[in-house]
Amino acid sequence: MSTVTISAADVNKLRQQTGAGMMDCRKALMESEGDFEKAIDYLRKKGQKVAANRSDRDAKEGVVIAKASSDNTYGVIVNLSSETDFVSKNAEFIAFANNLTDIALNTKADSIETLKAAAMEGATVGDKLLEMVAKIGEKIDVVRYETMTAATVVPYIHAGYRIGVLVGMNKAANEGVIAAGKDVAMQIAAMNPLAVDADSIPAEMVEREKAIALEQVAAEGKTGDMAEKIAMGKLNKFFKENTLLPQAFVKDGGKSVADYLKSVEADLTVVSFKRIAVGS
């Protein structure tokens, strides 16, 4: 048993550094004979144990943060999960998610693994995640991560960090393009389109929707060329309702999203988008 005297000041200092509970900090310092670095490692190992014990728990709450670079040519979305909305609504948890997203943006991490290996406050993002697990006692992790590069990237966060969107535009950033990008991002958050346009829909999905349409038409007693024509009409309706550019613009139902963008700049369009929702 250690004979090192652990003062209340030492315990408080470790608590301030790690955010862990007072009793956990005292035990860590006792086990580490007052060595702060070893005590921090002890707490991280405790976090690993907590994470392992909770590996079968669902972490379907959390927050989604979307941010873009200062020149609006690069963006990231980070989904930091938790088990309960009590944790996800906590200001410290949201601040941690924002800090983590800033690191993702500044390092241009290309995967969750790369992001977790990035430096964060004298440790790595992965280490800090484990400290959060130890402190909060819930399963916390980066569960989804997306990046985007485009002439203009516009980020948008919807419904209290529940949905994050990145929109890639084909024109360099200016006030009008960014405003249009935000409008389109709101559309994406609300309508959850499958793709930018019909050409962006995977071929297997197109074939599946066409087969469904043909079955519906056959059930109505239509055959031959008429059946094919009606089925294609149904398929075109599917594209119009489920892809971004042909959708009715939510702010003006008399226009499509494509029409709205043309009203801003003649050849302005969306080249890509990313959308992440909590629990998806």
Give pLDDT tens digits for 81-122.
999 999 999 999 999 999 999 999 999 999 999 999 999 999
How far apart CA 96 and CA 273 sit, in angstroms, is: 25
How far apart CA 167 and CA 165 sit, in angstroms, is: 7
How far apart CA 99 and CA 8 sit, in angstroms, is: 30
For the chain, helix (H) and strand (E) counts, in that order, are 11, 10
Q: What percent of the chain has pLDDT over 90?
A: 60
Residue 50 has pLDDT above 60, yes or no: no
How far apart CA 51 and CA 1 sit, in angstroms, is: 28
Q: pLDDT per residue over 164-215, tens digit each?
A: 999 999 999 999 999 999 999 999 999 999 999 999 998 888 888 888 888 8
What b-and-e string marks burial along 78-117, b requiring 16 or more CB atoms within 10 Å of the CB?
bbbbbbeeebbeeeebbebbbebbebbbeeebeebeebbe
CA 123 from centre of chain: 23
Sign of torsion over alpha carbons 163, 166, 167, 173 = positive
Question: pTM surpassing 0.85?
Answer: no
Min mean pLDDT across 2-6, 32-36, 167-171, 268-272 is at: 2-6
Of 154 and 239, more confident: 154
Q: Which stretches of 83-237 are assigned E, i.e. beta strand?
A: 119-120, 123-124, 141-149, 152-158, 163-169
Residue 58: the pLDDT is: 67
The two tokens of residue 243 are: 């892809």
Residue 1 has pLDDT above 50, yes or no: no
Go through the domains of the chain in sequence order and give each one's CATH number.
8-53 (1.10.8.10), 61-196+267-277 (3.30.479.20)
Residue 16 has pLDDT above 80, yes or no: no
Of 234 and 189, more confident: 189
